[in-house]
Amino acid sequence: MQKIAFHTLGCKLNFSETSYLARQMDKAGMERVDFDGVSDVYVINTCSVTDNADKECRQLVRQIRRRAPESSVVIMGCYAQLKPQEIASIEGVDLVLGAAEKFNLLEHLESIKGQSEPKVLSCAIEDVNDFHSAYSFGDRTRSFLKVQDGCDYSCSFCTIPLARGASRSDTIENVLAKAHEIASLGVKEVVLTGVNLGDFHYTDAAGEKKNFYDLIRALDEVEGIQRYRISSIEPNLLTREIIEFVAVSKRFMPHFHIPLQSGSPDILKAMRRRYKREVYEERVAIIKEVMPHACIGVDVIVGFPGESDAHFKETYDFIHGLDVSYLHVFTYSERPDTVAIELPDVVPMNIRKERNQQLRNLSMKKQNFFREQFVGQTRKVLWEGQDKEGMIEGFSDNYIKMRAVYDAQKVNQILPSLID
């Protein structure tokens, strides 16, 4: 039996697709092994949001060559779509699969046996129009369910539309079928994922237009899934209608992750974001109005070209004044073929790192303040499977991280737990 190992870089969407492909290999009779072990085939599903993801891919290939020099190495995902020839030039890479071909992994593995040169299967991103459903299972307690792919936005710093193509969505009927399938596997929590999740839309066979609000209303009726989370949603697409539905829903958790990227109007404009910061402020206010206990996460980028000390202070002060719960802070990374790479007034890397640290410190304060509001309360926690040095971890409905002494009977159970 041929052995195969997978490694995923990047987002929840990548994890859902890797998991789907791994299960296809299981069905084909291949033996899945740990990526750190010796395998016949290694598959790396790449990200290309930052330069670090590209570097990590190259490092992984070098490690594989040292560990298992006779193995086959397959690179797929966003980096593979953007820079196929660059990847093919990495010593040890046997197969590069672009966005349209990664779901045909099994047949392509057959085609590379005995070849001496790397094989590249990639097409123009404009030709990538199909939607491939996927969900993760077995890797974590919760499941990542892909419902949307691609993006029609043109943010000046982002390569994702170049790597994943135009926005396209699954149908509600198919998503519901997948949710039932996931429920049958004993999964309690599903995280909805996509590139631009709030842009979920299509016209059904009857000519009716469907959107993200229609999707979450339908999912809320699926028996067996106890919890849903919305992975990330653009502020301009997070409508009052969606927020108010989550507030009264049976299964959607009071937890939102909303990209901000900058609190400076000038920088938002340079980033080509589709909202003003007043819109962001309004969305946070609506959430807290109808769900005071809700957790709100924020994506923010520091060191974008032209970001002066005054611009950064605008961002810091704006976030400081928002009733949000935690930040994901990204240091701006120059990406080829983006508008931003041509912009003047590049911010020195040491200043980018200083600003990153300042916002990480602010995030810790926000996180601690949010948690302190619930100390002494009992909230429902989904306990996860990993034994971390004798401890078990889980998250409350409103995404407060909990730890307790490991107890196997708690795994994958939603239990009332005291926040202390």
Q: Is there a single domain that holds both residue 115 and residue 143? A: no
pLDDT above 90 (res 66) = yes
Q: Within a domain: residue 268?
A: no
Q: Is there a single domain that holds both residue 146 and residue 247? A: yes
Q: What is the pLDDT of residues 372-393, one digit of tens each?
A: 999 999 999 999 988 888 999 9
Calpha distance 329→260 (Å, rounded): 10
pTM for this one? 0.94
Q: How many CB atoms lie within 10 A of CB 286?
A: 17
Of 76, 104, 127, the residue at which a domain comes to its end is 127
Q: Within a domain: residue 112?
A: yes
Q: Is there a single domain that holds both residue 162 and residue 66? A: no
Q: Within a domain: residue 84?
A: yes
Q: Is there a single domain that holds both residue 9 and residue 51? A: yes
Q: Is there a single domain that holds both residue 89 and residue 143? A: no
pLDDT above 80 (res 46) = yes
Burial level of 391, CB count in 10 A (0-12/13-18/19+)? exposed
R_g of the chain computed on alpha carbons:
22
Non-local (6+) Cβ contacts of 221 within 8 A are none
Domain housing 382: 378-418
Q: What percent of the chain has pLDDT over 70?
A: 99
Q: Is there a single domain that holds both residue 156 and residue 71? A: no
Of 253, 284, 305, the residue at which a domain comes to its end is 253
Q: Is there a single domain that holds both residue 120 and residue 209? A: no
Q: Within a domain: residue 178?
A: yes
Q: Within a domain: residue 245?
A: yes
Q: Which residues pair with 43 in a beta bridge?
A: 6, 74
- The pLDDT assigned to 52 comes to 74
Higher-confidence residue: 49 or 235? 235
Structure tokens at 376: 């002494």
Number of domains in the chain: 3
HSE-CB for 23 with a 13 A CA cutoff: 11
Q: What is the pLDDT of residues 182-193, one digit of tens each?
A: 999 999 999 999
Q: Which residues pair with 261 in a beta bridge?
A: 300
Instruction: Label residue 322 by pLDDT band (50, 70, 90).
Output: very high
Q: Is there a single domain that holds both residue 222 and residue 138? A: yes
Calpha distance 210→174 (Å, rounded): 13
Q: What is the pLDDT of residues 81-110, one digit of tens each?
A: 999 998 999 999 999 999 989 999 999 998
Q: Within a domain: residue 81?
A: yes
- CA distances to 36, 142, 179, 189, 384 from 185, rounded to whole Å, are 27, 11, 10, 11, 15
Q: Within a domain: residue 218?
A: yes
Please give, one letter per residue, the 3-state secondary structure of 201-268. EEECCCCCEEEHHHHHHHHCCCCCCCEEEECCCCCCCCCHHHHHHHHHCCCECCEEEEEEECCCHHHH
Q: Within a domain: residue 371?
A: no
Calpha distance 25→20 (Å, rounded): 9
Q: What DSSP string describes 17-29?
A: HHHHHHHHHHHTT
Q: Which residues pair with 146 in a beta bridge?
A: 134, 193
* CATH code of 168's domain: 3.30.750.210
pLDDT above 80 (res 273) = yes
- The pLDDT assigned to 211 comes to 98
Q: What is the mean pLDDT of residues 199-228?
A: 97
Structure tokens at 216: 């979450």
Q: Is there a single domain that holds both residue 108 and residue 190? A: no
Of 253, 274, 307, the residue at which a domain comes to its end is 253
pLDDT above 90 (res 117) = no
3-state SS assignment for residue 97: strand
